[in-house]
Amino acid sequence: MKSLIIALCVVCMPGILGAQKFDWQPSPGHKQVPIWPGKIPDAQPAKGPEFALSSGTTFLVAGKSATEIDNVTQPTMTVYSPKGINTGAAVIVFPGGGFSVLAIDLEGTEVCDWLVSKGITCVLLKYRVPDSGPHDDAGNQRYPKAPMALEDAQRTMRLIRFHAAQYHVDPHKIGVLGFSAGGYLVADISTNFDKRVYPLLDEADKVSCRPDFAVALYPGHLRASHIGLQLTPKIPVSRQTPPTFLLQAEDDHVDNVNDSLVYYIALQNAGVPVEMHLFSQGGHAFGLRKTNSSITEWPQLVERWLRTIAILS
């Protein structure tokens, strides 16, 4: 199981054989809300029902286990609102998982706890990852098999922007943040926002799904092939791509540092404001848990960057 998940560029947190599956729910006071009002577009089958699984002692980050969710076919969003000062900013979080599972705590709920502590509304997106995984194109690079993740991301952005007053957020300060495959999804929605990839459903679908800013952490799947430095044509960078923050470790053996480099170069060439931080060490799938590696200080870098682009005052 471990070798399979690593091969799929998942966050390398396989469940223990025989471990008990359970139903994931957000912390008390938070509720999952379906993002689709009826029939889900491009619905794909899964091998079984949705379930969560803890890595136990098989995979530890900063001495703690991690939880993955498998077979997600019913996408939901969970809104975490600041309890004190509210800056008006909001961030939609895309956990990683190689488009096969979701690292729901390591790259999800823990990130939301940090964001709300800074007065930022967090929206955790449980996007679709049926057990089909990514597929290889001719260049042996992996992408989602269907546009399900992008559909879920576009729909969530529109819902939050359309209901901005209800969620007490500024509709012009809504960004995205994602890890690994979720980092690819950050680039996906940042460059494919001018065309709705699903049928019009309601008034919310008439508003823009362009993020106002974007944070991609150890993103993958961005190169056209594993050889060379060419951005995949699936990510059509333009001058309208939002300001972007990139972070990756040079010793990341799951998603190569060149994935960040090709995206950075394309953003620079398009005149998009971009800030990139590369670290010699750090590996992959550390979330925001503090380790001995200085790369895990990235939350302070992101917070400072959000001030430089006037999202935070």
pLDDT in tens, 111-150: 999 999 999 999 999 999 875 444 555 444 455 655 899 9
Is residue 5 predicted with pLDDT exceeding 70?
no
Residue 172, pLDDT score: 98
| CATH code of the region 2-308 | 3.40.50.1820
- Name the residue among 149, 96, 104, 112 with its Cα closest to residue 127: 149
Averaged pLDDT of the chain: 89
Residue ranges of domains in the chain:
2-308
User: pTM for this structure?
Assistant: 0.92
Residue 258, pLDDT score: 94
Residue 182, pLDDT score: 95
How large is the average pLDDT for residues 101-106? 96
More confident residue, 99 or 308: 308
Residue 130, pLDDT score: 74
State how far the Cα of 189 lies from the Cα of 174, in Å rounded to an integer.
Answer: 13
State how far the Cα of 168 lies from the Cα of 116, in Å rounded to an integer.
Answer: 13
State how far the Cα of 131 lies from the Cα of 73, in Å rounded to an integer.
Answer: 9
Residue 193, number of CB atoms within 10 A of its CB? 21
Is residue 73 predicted with pLDDT exceeding 60?
yes
How large is the average pLDDT for residues 249-277? 96
More confident residue, 7 or 267: 267
Residue 112: C-alpha distances to residues 31, 56, 61, 244 (Å): 14, 22, 18, 19
Sign (positive/negative) of CA torsion 19, 20, 23, 24? negative
How large is the average pLDDT for residues 259-271? 97
Residue 147, pLDDT score: 84
Identify residue 280 by its one-letter amino acid code: S
Is residue 151 predicted with pLDDT exceeding 90?
yes
- Band the pLDDT of 16: cuts 50, 70, 90: very low
Q: What is the dihedral of CA 177, 312, 292, 288, to 10 degrees?
A: -30
Residue 131, pLDDT score: 52
Is residue 11 predicted with pLDDT exceeding 60?
no
In this prediction, what percent of the chain has a pLDDT beyond 90? 78
- Name the residue among 223, 210, 217 with its Cα closest to residue 272: 210
Residue 133, pLDDT score: 47
Lowest mean pLDDT among 94-103, 164-173, 220-229: 220-229
